[in-house]
Amino acid sequence: MTEHVTVRLSSGTIRGRRLDEHLSFQGIPYAAAPVGERRWRPPAPVEPWPGVRDTTAPGNPAPQLAQSFADVTSVDEDCLTLDVTAPAAPATGRPVLVWLHGGGGTNGTAATYDPRRLAITGDVVVVAPNFRLGVFGCFGHPGLSDGGTFGLQDQQAALRWVQREIARFGGDPANVTLMGESHGALTVAAHLTSPTSAGLFHRAILQSGFGVLGSTPAHTFIPGVPALPPMWTPAAELDRLGAATAAEHGWVTPGSDPESALEQLRRVPAAELLQVSGNFIRPAFGGTTLPESPAEALLAGRFHRMPLLMGTTRDEARFFVGLFADLAGNPVTAESYPRLLAEAFGDAADEVAARYALDRFGTPSLAWAQICTDRAWARPAWELGRALAAHTGTWFYEFADRDAPSIVPLPGFPAGAQHSSELAYQFDLPGESPLSAAQRDLGDRMNRYWTAFATSGDPACADLPTWPDAGTGHVQSLAPERIGGTDYAAEHALDFWARMP
């Protein structure tokens, strides 16, 4: 039998659930619904509600279309809610973890990630917001103030909610860790440099952030995808893209002034806008939220000083090569390998081919996945980690369980420690393959490291292997059979890649 529990917030009373060892509240509004005239505007305050609001079911996912890696579809823009999970035992002053989900910038929802193990193991309060994605979160257009940052502004509104309300759940608003994976980690990097995020969090965790620094050569994100620009776009460039997209789809009357054009765009059905959502995943800089490119700011040391924990998985790119090449019926072959190399690396293609000779790998797809892992994930993560460690305490990890369950089934393809595979060790995910006892133990140890970092700004745990900071060059390998230092630079040929395109 479910036991209910109520909490009085400044906007009204909510009713959640008391479950085994934890409390769960879902779908708590932290800002007004960004619908109608509120589309592409900063998040507005929540209207107080009378009586008791039920928060025992997830809030709406942000508008999105289902993808091969995320089977969720939603067209409801009323999505600015968050979930709170806390240990059931009464307490005050617990550290707070705010979790920003990944999903490529177009997909994802807080409800996918059940953080009860994280909360209970580390005695922390976990907050997981939904926020605008894709064309609703990163759209820009002439006349649109601070375009390209609406998803970031939503996350800031959730962090301000934490400052106001989290003590009511036993959390400490003066000890907040912002934690994100994949595109969520990209947004954590943005908040590290955003002046309007100052003081809203005190530590940060970046798991497998993609595109934080610089551009990505052709095919090294997904085979068949051309070279990608940096994941940060100038506001003026985004405005031009938004205007061109609106004109191409006939959403705006030709010759309309910016104000009239935006009025028309706010009436376009969400389902139509979602058709172009993948073109709007790059936060814009040049406005109030992001005055400059986070890539430049981070490398120059212009970011909010705080302890940082970051890392990657050992085989990041196997997810993308396995899903979008092999599973799609278009694997990398011995015949296509030289062409991919030439298009990605130009005059350096022969050097890369020699370093990653096909006879070293089980299949050409695995060879290409290793190239992509090393160039598109390990190299920029290492460069970012070294830059951050020059200014603040930074700890670097590599999730290395090559027997990890595959987040998305890849029949016949060795998934290894692919992108996002560590999440099943930290959260309970729907439909996940069960972890072995050794993997479950690794997940417990990881959560203890993460929550120790959230508590004190250092992942050190008395009864776990030591974890020196990245300033020493140390990278902590996390696998069931071994936790300890690894030669990350040698493992991913980083000296070689330092002189490559």
112: which 2 tokens?
């996918």
Residues 6 or more apart whose CB falls under 8 angstroms from that of 359 comprise none
- φ/ψ of residue 67, rounded to 5: -125, 170
Residues 6 or more apart whose CB falls under 8 angstroms from that of 153 comprise 42, 43, 146, 196, 289
Q: CA nearest 412: which of 316, 314, 331?
A: 331
Residue 34's Cβ-count burial label (10 Å; 0-12, 13-18, 19+) is buried
| pLDDT tops 60 at residue 311 | yes
Residues 6 or more apart whose CB falls under 8 angstroms from that of 156 comprise 191, 194, 196, 197, 200, 289
**Amino acid at residue number 204:** A
Question: For strand 203-207 and strand 171-181, is the pairing parallel, antiparallel, or unpaired?
Answer: parallel
- φ/ψ of residue 498, rounded to 5: -65, -25
- Averaged over 20-24, what is the pLDDT? 95
Q: Please give the positions annotated as active site.
A: 182, 316, 419
Would you list the DSSP string of 49-114? Answer: -SSEEE-BSPPPPPSB--BTTB---B------EEEEEEESS--SSEEEEEEE--STTT---GGG-B
Domains recognised in the chain with CATH numbers: 3-306 (3.40.50.1820)
- Half-sphere exposure at residue 273, Cβ-oriented, CA atoms within 13 angstroms: 29
Residues 6 or more apart whose CB falls under 8 angstroms from that of 28 comprise 9, 14, 55, 59, 81, 82, 83, 84
Residues 6 or more apart whose CB falls under 8 angstroms from that of 310 comprise 185, 205, 206, 207, 209, 381, 384, 385, 388, 394, 395, 396, 397
pLDDT digits (tens, 9 = 90+) for 470-486: 999 999 999 998 999 99
Residues 252, 277: Cα–Cα separation, whole Å: 17
**Quick one: pLDDT at residue 70?**
87
Question: What counts of helices (H) and strands (E) characterise the chain?
Answer: 17, 15
Average pLDDT of the chain, as a whole number = 97
**Quick one: pLDDT at residue 177?**
99
Whole-model pTM: value is 0.98
pLDDT digits (tens, 9 = 90+) for 335-393: 999 999 999 999 999 999 999 999 999 999 999 999 999 999 999 999 999 999 999 99
pLDDT band at 1 (very low <50, low <70, confident <90, very high): low
Q: Are 55 and 25 in contact (CB under 8 A)?
A: yes
**Quick one: pLDDT at residue 433?**
82
| pLDDT tops 90 at residue 431 | no
State the angle between helix axes of 183-193 and 150-165 in degrees (0 to 180), rounded to the nearest 10: 70
Three-state SS across 153-173? HHHHHHHHHHHHHHHHHCEEE
| pLDDT tops 80 at residue 12 | yes
pLDDT digits (tens, 9 = 90+) for 49-92: 999 999 999 999 999 999 988 889 999 999 999 999 999 999 99
pLDDT band at 2 (very low <50, low <70, confident <90, very high): confident
Q: CA nearest 133: which of 217, 44, 216, 73?
A: 73
Q: CA nearest 464: which of 487, 435, 441, 439?
A: 441
